[in-house]
Amino acid sequence: CWCLPVITGFVLVGVPYIVCFVAQWIFGLPDKPGFRKYIEALNPRIYRLTFVTMDLLKYFYYLRLYYQIKSWYRNENNSQHHKKGIVYGRRGNKLDYYYAPRRNKYRNGLPPLVVFVYGGAWSTGHRSTYCLLARQMAENMNVAVVCPDYSTYPKGNVLMMVQDVVDCLVWAQVNAPTFVFNKIVLVGHSAGAHLATLATLLLLDTREELLIEPKLQQEILHSLRGVIMSGVYSIMDHYKHEQRRGIEFISCMSRAMNGEENFPPYSPMHIVKNISADKLRAPRFVLLHGGCDIVVPADSSTKFYKLLSSLSVKVSLHLLPAVSHTDIVTDLMLPSRRFYD
C-alpha cells in the first residue's frame, strides 16, 4: 500500500519543513534577494531547527512555576516586599525594587544592592517573570534587589540595551539615600549576562557611546563590587552555535547587533583584549554555567574565564553539572526546585 510510505514521508519530511518554514516566515526569512530567501528557508539544515522547535516543548514543564510567578506578582499583599513599576533612564523603562527584609542589620541601615539583568535572546523578557528570584535573593542574602526592563529588539538595539543597564546603575546612584543601599553587585543571565558584562567593560573603558559624563561613569564603576554572570561573551562564537542549531535566521541576535560587522565591538571577549592594562581594573567576576546548557554552551564561560585569568582580572568559574540553561535561574525561584540548594 502506498499510503504508509506517503504518510511516513509527510511526517518525517513535510511536517518539519512546514513548521520551520512558518517559524522563519514569522521571525524573519533569510536575508537573500528575491525568491532565494524562500529557497534558503527550505535548506535541508531545517531539520536542526526542527529539533530546536521540538525542544521548546519542555517549557510546558514550567507552567506551574509560571502560574506561581504571576500569582505572586499580582498579589497586592506582597507589596510590602517590593515596589513595582519605577520609571528610570532616558527611555522611560521601568524597574521593580525589592526591599532587604532586615535593613537594621547593616550600619546606617544600608544593605548592598543586587541588580539582576534577565535574558531573553535580546528580544523578549519582562521584569515580573523574575519576581520570585528577586524575592529569594533579597530574603536569603538580606540585600536589596532591582530588576529592570530594557529596550529589547525591535524597540532597541544592543547599544540602547547597554545604555539602559547603565541608566539603571545611574538610578541606583541617584536614589541611594532613598532606597538605602551603597554597594552594587551586577547579576545577569544569558543575553542579560552579555549586556551586563558589556556595560561593565564600556564603563571601564569610559566609552563615549554610553552618552554619560566620564566622571559619572567612574563613580558608577567604583560602586560595583562584583559581577556574577551566566551567558554569552563572544557574539561571533554564539552566532556559529546558532548556525549549528539552524536558528540564525529566526534569532534576533544578529539584528539586535545591527549586523555581523558589529559582532566584534559588541563581544566582551573582543573588548577585553583591546582595553589597556591600566584600565582593566575590573570588579571581581564570578562566572556560572550549567553543564547541560545547550542554548549557550559552557565553552562561552570557560573561554572568557581563561582570557580574564590571563590578564590578571579577579575571576572565578563554577560549572554546575546537570544544570540546564533555564535551571540556573528557575531553580533559584523556590526552595522546592531541584537545584535550589
DSSP 10: I
Three-class SS of residue 117?
Answer: strand
- DSSP-assigned states of every residue in 204-269: HTT-GGG-S-HHHHHHHHHHEEEEEEEE-S-HHHHHHHHHHHT-TTT-SHHHHTTSGGGTTTT-HH
Q: For residues 241-253, give the mean pLDDT.
A: 86
Amino acid at 292: C
Closest among 189, 193, 195, 190 to 167, alpha carbons compared: 195
Confidence at residue 330, expressed as pLDDT on a 0 to 100 scale: 96
The Cα 44–Cα 62 span in angstroms is 31
Percent with pLDDT over 90 in the chain: 68
Exposure on the CB side of residue 158, measured as CA atoms within 13 A:
30
Please list, in sequence order, all residues whose beta carbon lies within 8 angstroms of the beta carbon of residue 227, skipping any fewer than 6 positions away: 185, 186, 187, 188, 196, 197, 200, 282, 283, 284, 285, 286
pLDDT in tens, 39-65: 766 666 666 666 676 677 777 888 999
Model confidence at 25, in pLDDT bands (50, 70, 90)?
A: confident
- 24 lies in some domain: no
Q: What is the pLDDT of residues 84-99, one digit of tens each?
A: 999 999 999 999 999 9
- Tell me the C-alpha distance between 258 and 213, whole Å: 25
pLDDT class for 7, splitting at 50, 70, 90? Answer: confident
Give the C-alpha separation, 218 to 215, whole Å.
Answer: 5
pLDDT computed for residue 213 by the predictor: 94
The domain containing residue 119 runs over which residues?
A: 64-330
Q: What is the DSSP string of 266-325?
A: T-HHHHHHHS-TTT--PPEEEEEEETT-SSS-THHHHHHHHHHHHTT--EEEEEETT--T
**C-alpha cell, 77:** 499583599
Condensed to tens digits (0 to 9), the pLDDT of residues 256-292 reads 999 999 999 999 999 999 988 777 888 999 999 999 9
Quote the crossing angle between the two packed helices 235-245 and 46-55, to the nearest 10°. Answer: 100
Omega before 154 cis (within 30°)? yes
Q: How many CB atoms lie within 10 A of CB 150?
A: 28
In a domain, 33, yes or no: no
Per the domain annotation, does 38 fall within a domain? no
Residue 153: pLDDT above 90?
A: yes
Question: Is the pLDDT higher at 180 or at 247?
Answer: 247
Instruction: Using the predicted structure, report yes or no on whether residue 33 has a pLDDT greater than 90.
Output: no
Indicate which CATH number applies to the domain containing 212.
3.40.50.1820
Grid coordinates given for 251: 534569532
- Write down the pTM of the prediction: 0.87
Nearest-10 crossing angle of helices 299-310, 235-245:
160
Q: Is 187 within a domain? A: yes
Cross-strand pairs, 285: 227, 315
183: amino acid identity, one letter: K
Q: What value does the mean pLDDT take over residues 143-158?
A: 96
Would you place residue 306 in the very low, low, confident or very high pLDDT band (cuts 50, 70, 90)? very high
Overall number of domains in the chain: 1
pLDDT number for residue 18: 77
* 338 within domain boundaries: no
Q: How far apart are CA 153 and CA 280, in angstroms?
A: 30
Question: Could you tell me which residues come within 8 angstroms of residue 317 by beta carbon, excluding any fewer than 6 positions away?
Answer: 287, 289, 301, 302, 305
The answer to whether residue 78 sits within a structural domain is yes
What length does the chain have? 341
Query: Chain-wide mean pLDDT for the chain?
Result: 89
The average pLDDT across 107-116 equals 84
**Which residues, other chains included, contact 184 with Cβ-Cβ below 8 Å and sequence gap of 6+?**
112, 113, 114, 115, 169, 172, 223, 224, 225
Structural domain contains residue 43:
no
Cα separation, 335 vs 320, whole angstroms = 18
Q: Is residue 39 part of a domain?
A: no
pLDDT (0 to 100) of residue 37: 72
